[in-house]
Amino acid sequence: MLENIEPKRVFYYFEEISKIPRPSYHEKAISDYLVAFAKEHNLEYIQDELFNVIIIKPATLGYEDKPAIVIQGHMDMVCEKTSDCTKDMEKEGLDLVLEGDTLSARGTTLGGDDGIAVAYALALLEDDSLRHPRLEVVITVSEEVGMDGARGIDVSPLKGRIFLNIDSELEGQCLASCAGGGTAKITLPINRAAVSDGKYFRVSVLGGRGGHSGDEINKGRGNATVLLGRVLRAVDAVCDWRLVTIAGGGKDNAIPREASAIIFTSDWEKLSDVIGQQDVAVKTEFSKTDAGLFVDFEETKGIEDPMTKGSTGQALLLISSLPNGIRRMSRDIDGLVETSLNMGITKTSGDRLILGFSIRSSVSTAYEALRERVRFISEGLGAAVEMSGEYPAWEYVAESPLREKMISIYKDMTGNELKVKAIHAGLECGLFAGKMPGLDAVSFGPDIFDIHTPDEHLSVSSVARVYDFIRKIIEEL
């Protein structure tokens, strides 16, 4: 369906990879596709045991003595979908929707983060009209769940120290530093006991916008799970009740759009009143940022015994006590979030309540302090904490010939200044910089909006402009 939009080969490959399911930890199929591409085009390639792929194209005539360029992105995507979407995103490809200048996917995330980097890279590699030095394309796995691919990849085959990371979502800017972070898994043991004289009800917070827990943590959007904790505290104040299960969020690095709890109570008239009050409060408070948010409840069937009164209180206390959202803004860069955390995946599994948090900071000591605060609160309430996927911040480098050249090229092409910024989201540049001394790196990309949500969409015209920019960078460096 994308065959008639420019740049044709970029969108050809974007459509092809959109047919391949590629959630994090399920990248073998897309990795094998990249290997097949390399074989078809007689290009040197490496596929490691993690399924990271490196594809190398020799320099064209006259460019043999120019320094090699690394083009880098990741092949996995965040798989979020609307509540009424039945697609199995581990087994089915995306249904692309093109409306004017906007490309999206029906009912799901689009995977522009970071499928557009893969599409750009393949189009560049197959283009024999492009004049270029040695090109080293590096496509990693599992970026969205802790940057496991970048952490585990062997960079010794790479000669380049000019590093183009195409994993940013705003045309007209390049990023020069990013936050570090990690994921906290918090596990609380719970006890259950049969209770009579009551009914099961599902209490839900629905209709949130969600978003990327780094890029959009500063937009004031409601975290549905945090709001559900607030609703349940209001229930606790007026009802005799027990928690049965709770579930919210699909990814730790995505702000939960929906969350629900099954509770057991005999006070359903009081429950109805308090849910109505909370619905009005949430709609009023979040009318500007999440116009679709609402609180609801309905009678349902229970499939397991409720938690004891003690475990109900302990679970509610844990959910309510842990911090969430922005902790501190940068003292050095106006408008930049320095430190934050996001309550992402929340679920019950038998005799355990499990919470997942994405913790970020551009200041290592602030990250460590927040991580330990989460641990202190959790362990004080009887929960265990396991950290995973920790990655370093990408520190700003004052002298960057690559950045200066890009600024000059962009000015010549557009007449506008290329904005140099830092970002609160994590990027793989920090890990590669640690492995590759002397790396001169930037991150940039076309306009992609509402990433990590089913509303994700990209600008077709922006994709074209950024592709021309990349080609110019490669030819003029």
Q: Annotated catalytic, 386?
A: no
Catalytic residue among 15, 76, 148, 169: 76
User: Which H, E and C letters describe the chain, residue by residue?
Assistant: CCCCCCCHHHHHHHHHHHCCCCECCCCHHHHHHHHHHHHHCCCEEEECCCCCEEEEECCCCCCCCCCCEEEEEECCECCCECCCCCCCCCCCCCCEEEECCEEEECCECCCHHHHHHHHHHHHHHHCCCCCCCCEEEEEECCHHHCCHHHHHCCCCCCCCCEEEECCCCCCCEEEEEECEEEEEEEEEECCECCCCCCEEEEEEEECCCCEECCCCHHHCCCCHHHHHHHHHHHHHHHCCEEEEEEEECCCCCEECCCEEEEEEECCHHHHHHHHHHHHHHHHHHCCCCCCCCEEEEEEECCCCCCECHHHHHHHHHHHHHCCCEEEEECCCCCCCEEEEEEEEEEEEECCEEEEEEEEEECCHHHHHHHHHHHHHHHHHCCCEEEEEEEECCECCCCCCHHHHHHHHHHHHHHCCCCEEEEECCCCCHHHHHHHCCCCEEEECCCCEECCCCCCCEEEHHHHHHHHHHHHHHHHHC
Distance in angstroms (rounded) separating the CA atoms of residues 437 and 366:
25
Distance in angstroms (rounded) separating the CA atoms of residues 284 and 1:
42
Q: Annotated catalytic, 126?
A: no
Catalytic residue among 136, 143, 215, 455: 143
Q: Give the active site residues.
A: 76, 143
